[in-house]
Amino acid sequence: MFPRCSGILLHVASLPGGHGIGDLGNSAHEFVEFLAESGQKIWQILPLSPTGYGDSPYQCFSAFAGNPLFIDLKALHEQGLLSGQDLTNAPSLPEERIEYAPVIDFKRGLLGKAAHVFLADGASTDGRAFDTFCRNNSDWLDDYALFMACKGAYKDAAWVYWDPGIRQRDSAALKEWQSRLSAEIQVHKFAQFEFFRQWEKLKAHCGRLGISIMGDIPIYVAHDSADVWAHPDLFRLDEQGRPNPVAGVPPDYFSATGQLWGNPLYRWETSAASGHQWWIDRVRASLKLLDLARLDHFRGFEAYWEIPADASTAAEGKWVKGPGAEFFQTLQTELGELPFIAENLGVITPEVEALRQRFGFPGMSLLQFAFGNDPQGPTFRPHNYSRELVAYTGGHDNDTTVGWWTSSGLGESTRTAEDIRNERDFTRAYLGFQDEAINWVFIRTVLASVANVAIIPLQDVLGLGSYARMNLPGTLSGNWEWRYKQKALTKEISEQLRKLTLLYDR
């Protein structure tokens, strides 16, 4: 499943062009061609679902739906669903950052217009395809579309603030709201139809060029989501429907007080009683979109960090046993071989590693973690790599490699100034370099390693500094905004990457 190869980590939102945010149009297809020309075999992305709180792809309104912001508006124009004037009326938006509020307002309005034009011609071939899509995905689509329509009616308020009938999914209230919001519900269904149609074209293009798509399955879902609203029995909620306790991780490299995510925890015993049916449906839906999947926060399936809802920091939590092997055995029995990569970072125990190895999921290693004073540092050093591993220069929660090397690093982690000096001295000694560009030293190191798979964030290929960082854990703003410039992927960069890829048999 994991032959020796390499790839690039880039979220769809970070593509250039489009209308203020990356989309599934020309720039996505051009990026796939860049991957092929550079000898890469994997495109790794972040979750594709519609983002909510903080614009984070790890806090989404649905674990099943696609993000409507990724829909290529030019394709809607080509279908006759939007006018040329619609596209030229786009607001002025920055090229290298996403300003989510104006992007959401602009694209939401045009998607609504396109939907009304499309739905007025329901007898067309596309109309029949739409009806088929709605039938085939009704198990999640009906709840999602009603949820989003209700959020619009309640001015985007979280579902716990809705009126009791619809909040508690009383059958009479559901029928009433479905009737009242029928037009809005159809708009949301159309957006999903178009997202999946555009995604299938992009995935087919990847397949023709030998590119596998590695996606991301977050362990937790957002509290304000169709998933929790429609399946409250699967989550640990109080009488008001609020999560208690909540998810997070203990103090680590990123934070001295841990990370208080706030997501609802699962009622694993309830999930097990249903044969983990919701999870089976979720993974099956994900694997229709993806070839490979990074299983986010894998250690939470062995034991998870439980934090009281009223805690001020994540340090107040405790470890609680997760579903373990029984969960993965159930998935495997139902779905066959699972093409998972286990995100086994953080506080990892022998029990976590035993679970990962039992099911043959490759783990992850980040080179940025190899040179500091973290007790786990030696496990991230290339001389300790195993072949069944996905090696990264850094991940979406890390600074870029250039940023990590050149910034003070103080205030962003638990490291002191002396720690940083020692880390840099050890990095130079271990990697044996002086004046070479640090990003290419790191790229060469992971490509040369024995790890079967090497993944490089595009920011490191481009040699960008901290301004291009995707996410700083523990912060609430300024994340998930970076985009690369239209002509950044030069022939020279492609050739340099291809040479190293060929040199190390990837």
For the annotated catalytic residues, the residue numbers are 296, 343, 397
Q: Which helix (H) or strand (E) holds 166?
A: helix 164-167
Let me know if 160 is exposed, middle or buried by CB neighbors in 10 A (0-12, 13-18, 19+): middle
In eight-state DSSP terms, residue 60 is B
Helical axes 100-119 vs 182-208, angle rounded to 10°: 100
Strand-pair category, 340-342 with 363-366: unpaired
Exposed, middle or buried by CB within 10 Å (0-12, 13-18, 19+), for 268? buried
Q: Quote the tokens at residue 290.
A: 């993806």
Q: Tell me if 295 sits within 8 A of 265, measured CB to CB.
A: no
Run of H or E including 256: none
Cβ distance 144 to 64 under 8 Å?
Answer: yes
Contact 240, 69 (CB under 8 A): no
- Interacting residues of 431 by C-beta distance below 8 A, sequence separation 6+: 441, 445
Sheet bearing 5-9, strands edge to edge = 340-342, 292-295, 212-217, 42-44, 5-9, 453-457, 389-392, 363-366
Strands (E), 250-302: 259-264, 292-295
**Distance separating alpha carbons of residues 498 and 295, to the nearest angstrom:** 28
DSSP string, 365-405: EEGGGSSSS-TTGGGGSGGG--SSEEEES--TTSPPHHHHH
Helix (H, G, I), strand (E, B) or coil at 451: coil
Residue 475 phi/psi, 5-degree rounding, is: -110, 155
SS3 500: helix
Rounded CA-CA distance 216/479 in Å is 18
Cα–Cα dist 87/79, whole Å: 13
- Residues 372 and 422: their CA atoms lie apart, in Å, by 7
Nearest residue to 177 (alpha-carbon basis) of 217, 148, 208, 157: 148
Backbone angles phi, psi at 188, to 5 degrees: -65, -35
Helix (H, G, I), strand (E, B) or coil at 499: helix
